[in-house]
């Protein structure tokens, strides 16, 4: 009897704990999603901004710095995966000489973008005190350069001489990474302006 009632007590206690901790998580969630939504308003693609970042609300909370870092990380991940998709696609048969050329150029410029984003993410971790402006200006330069590289890739696929399917896959992906990068740049700039 005693054993089962203490078991019941422990079970209730655990349930209470589980409920209260999920209440705490729920309470902090709207604040962070509100913050992300508001911050995303200054980007060119606010809906993509919100959908790509709100899944990280728990990490971001209401920190402009973590928001910008997360946006860069999400962008890097997406550029990387697009780059590997393109490497795979370029191995497929039936592609024209021109498509293959455009594909190879894309892989190259996207590789540069990966590099630039990686460096930016590295510098984000070093931003403090007297180094802030110097590192921030590097980050802004690199993220802009990554965006330019992605645009270069899009241009390679602008012509009509391309196979419909390859072009559609590639363009969809590139447009997505370019929009993510543009948003990340806007959030980096927003974070930078807090220190101006």
Judged by the rule CB under 6 A, the positions of this chain that interact with ligand NAG are 59, 66, 69-70, 73, 121
Q: How far is the CB of 62 from ligand NAG (least distance, A)?
A: 13
Give the residue with the Cβ less far from ligand NAG, 69 or 179. 69
Q: How far is the CB of 171 from ligand NAG (least distance, A)?
A: 28
Residues 6+ apart with CB under 8 A from 175: 154
Alpha helices in the chain (DSSP H): 2-40, 46-53, 57-60, 64-89, 97-124, 132-156, 164-193
CA angle 28, 34, 36 (to 5 degrees): 105
Give the residue with the Cβ less far from ligand NAG, 178 or 184. 184
End-to-end CA distance of the chain: give it in Å, rounded.
68
Q: How far is the CB of 116 from ligand NAG (least distance, A)?
A: 15
Whole-Å CA distances, 49 to 17, 116, 126: 34, 20, 24
Residues 106 and 156 sit within 8 Å (Cβ to Cβ): yes
Q: How far is the CB of 71 from ligand NAG (least distance, A)?
A: 9
Give the residue with the Cβ less far from ligand NAG, 85 or 121. 121
Give the residue with the Cβ less far from ligand NAG, 78 or 90. 78
């Amino acid at each position: 009897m005693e054993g089962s009632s203490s078991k019941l007590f422990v079970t209730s206690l655990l349930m209470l704990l589980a409920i209260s901790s999920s209440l705490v998580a729920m309470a902090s969630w709207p604040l962070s999603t509100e913050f992300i939504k508001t911050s995303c308003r200054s980007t060119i693609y606010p809906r993509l901004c919100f959908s790509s970042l709100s899944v990280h609300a728990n990490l971001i909370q209401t920190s402009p710095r973590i928001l910008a870092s997360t946006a860069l990380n999400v962008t890097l991940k997406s550029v990387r995966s697009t780059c590997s998709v393109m490497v795979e696609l370029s191995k497929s048969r039936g592609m024209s000489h021109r498509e293959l050329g455009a594909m190879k150029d894309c892989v190259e410029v996207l590789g540069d973008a990966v590099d630039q984003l990686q460096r930016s993410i590295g510098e984000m971790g070093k931003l403090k005190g007297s180094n802030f402006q110097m590192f921030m200006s590097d980050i802004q330069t690199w993220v802009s350069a990554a965006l330019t590289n992605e645009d270069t890739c899009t241009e390679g696929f602008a012509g009509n001489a391309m196979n419909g399917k390859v072009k559609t896959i590639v363009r969809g992906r590139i447009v997505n990474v370019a929009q993510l990068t543009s948003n990340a740049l806007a959030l980096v700039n927003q974070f930078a302006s807090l220190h101006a």
